Amino acid sequence: MSTNTGNLAHHFEDLEQQFDAATLGMWLFLATEVMFFGAVLTGYAIYRNQYSTAFAQASLLLGTKVGTVNTAVLLTSSLTMALSVYFAKRGNRTWLLTCLGLTLLLGSVFLGIKAWEWHHEYVEQLVPGIAFDSKRFSGGGEWVNPYQVQLFFVFYFILTGLHALHMIIGAGLLIYLLVRAQRRAFSTGYYVPVEVIGLYWHFVDIVWIFLFPLLYLVRH
């Protein structure tokens, strides 16, 4: 890393130390996020095991094709984020701006699709506490407890809502990077914010990789 000290905070000896501290700080933050999501996912796993039939029936009501498309969108955004870090390290401002812009666009597409999906689930009366039709799960075929189905959707909206909140925060951070990149704040000697925010974005993508099969592909 370059010895350029224009972006060196006063409490660090050099940019190497500053970079290591920022990266460690982000990893520690992500460790707390793992515990945060892990607590909710543990509760989900317990009830998934206890009410397997109801959870499987509820999962069938989700749009698997829509979820698959959104997964592809988010994975592509991870690629463009990785390329952003690559071009930041090489001081290629044009491609850095392009890749950051693409990442923001893909993240926005993901959130747009998710918002449409939530609206569809509201119309279908699958939102616990707001619009939920319990009668549709009480008659015909294999009987399923509607309250157990409703519990699945409680977890579904909590988990996807938390994930969307993290996506919105990530979008804000990408806008911050775009503004700074436009002002030529990054160079081959200083790209710490791009690297650190890239770690955050990849984490959010990884969370979705767990959520997609757990919520959309539930089977007996």
3-state secondary structure the chain: CCCCCCCCCCCCCCHHHHHHHHHHHHHHHHHHHHHHHHHHHHHHHHHHHHCHHHHHHHHCCCCHHHHHHHHHHHHHHHHHHHHHHHHHHCCCHHHHHHHHHHHHHHHHHHHHHHHHHHHHHHHCCEECCCEECHHHHCCCCCCCCHHHHHHHHHHHHHHHHHHHHHHHHHHHHHHHHHHHHHCCCCECCECHHHHHHHHHHHHHHHHHHHHHHHHHCCCC
More confident residue, 100 or 13: 100
Most confident of 12-16, 204-208, 216-220: 204-208
Task: For 149-191, write each residue's pLDDT tens digit.
Answer: 899 999 999 999 999 999 999 999 999 999 999 999 888 888 8
Q: What is the pLDDT of residue 26?
A: 80
Please check the confidence at residue 200 and state whether its pLDDT lies above 80.
yes
Q: What is the separation, in whole angstroms, between the first and last Cα of the chain?
A: 52
Please check the confidence at residue 39 and state whether its pLDDT lies above 80.
yes
Q: Where are the domains of the chain?
A: 15-216
Task: For 83-113, write each residue's pLDDT tens digit.
Answer: 999 999 999 999 999 999 999 999 999 999 9
Question: What average pLDDT is seen over the chain?
Answer: 87
Low-confidence winner among 9-18, 109-118, 146-155 (lowest mean pLDDT):
9-18
Please check the confidence at residue 7 and state whether its pLDDT lies above 90.
no
Q: What is the pLDDT of residue 138?
A: 61
Task: For 122-156, write each residue's pLDDT tens digit.
Answer: 998 989 988 787 777 665 445 578 888 899 999 99
15-216 belongs to CATH 1.10.357.140: no
More confident residue, 2 or 182: 182
Rounded Cα gap, residues 100 and 77, in angstroms? 9
Percent of the chain scored above 90 by pLDDT?
65
